[in-house]
Amino acid sequence: MFNRFRPAALIAAAVAMTTIGLASPAAADDPVVAYNGVCGSGYGVVNFENVGTKGTVYVTYNNANGNNCAVTVRAGGGDRVWIAVGIKRTNDAPSEAVQEEDLFYSYAGPVYLHAAGQCIDWFGSIDGTNANRNETNCG
């Protein structure tokens, strides 16, 4: 279930949030919820951003194959809510982002992107709360 980034408005909103400073800094904050390991064997967490208090979007990396993986993990449980995750190379067009979004109980993703040696932009959304980072993990 790896969809191309269908709603361009979602990426535009994520970029706008960064521009006007609404996204929370990753700083030294602890994740709201732990990484769930869904990217698979060989992937280690290299970055994260909390999605308000609703969960955390994680970026992982596999040194063996140069792939990044992103997943948005929801804190708590309950009914299904809209959860999204997306990732793209910073220099790629928004239409080239790999993303998944739908009504889920606990997480969206994993989505994978080969971007060894390139910066990436990534985002997560849970039930109307968004988080994103641009030009990260540039190595």
SS3 letters for 6-72?
CCHHHHHHHHHHHHHCCCCCCCCCCCCCCCCCCCCCCEEEEEEEEECCCEEEEEEEECCCCEEEEEE
pLDDT tens, 3-13? Answer: 444 444 444 44
Burial class (CB in 10 A: 0-12, 13-18, 19+), 118: middle
Q: What is the pTM of this model?
A: 0.80
Predicted local distance difference test score (pLDDT) of residue 113? 98
pLDDT tens, 54-89? Answer: 999 999 999 999 999 999 999 998 999 999 999 999
Residue 44 scores a pLDDT above 90: yes
- Among the listed residues 112, 84, 108, the one whose alpha carbon sits nearest the alpha carbon of residue 98: 112
Predicted local distance difference test score (pLDDT) of residue 21? 42
Per DSSP, 116 falls in state T
Contact indicator for 107, 38 with CB cutoff of 8 Å: yes
pLDDT tens, 20-42? Answer: 444 444 445 899 999 999 999 99
- 110 against 18, higher pLDDT: 110
- Among the listed residues 98, 106, 111, 32, the one whose alpha carbon sits nearest the alpha carbon of residue 71: 111
- Among the listed residues 29, 45, 30, 37, the one whose alpha carbon sits nearest the alpha carbon of residue 122: 45
Give the residue extent of every domain in the chain: 3-136
Predicted local distance difference test score (pLDDT) of residue 29? 82
How far, in Å, CA of 76 to CA of 54, rounded?
8
Q: Cβ of 81: how many Cβ atoms within 10 Å? A: 16
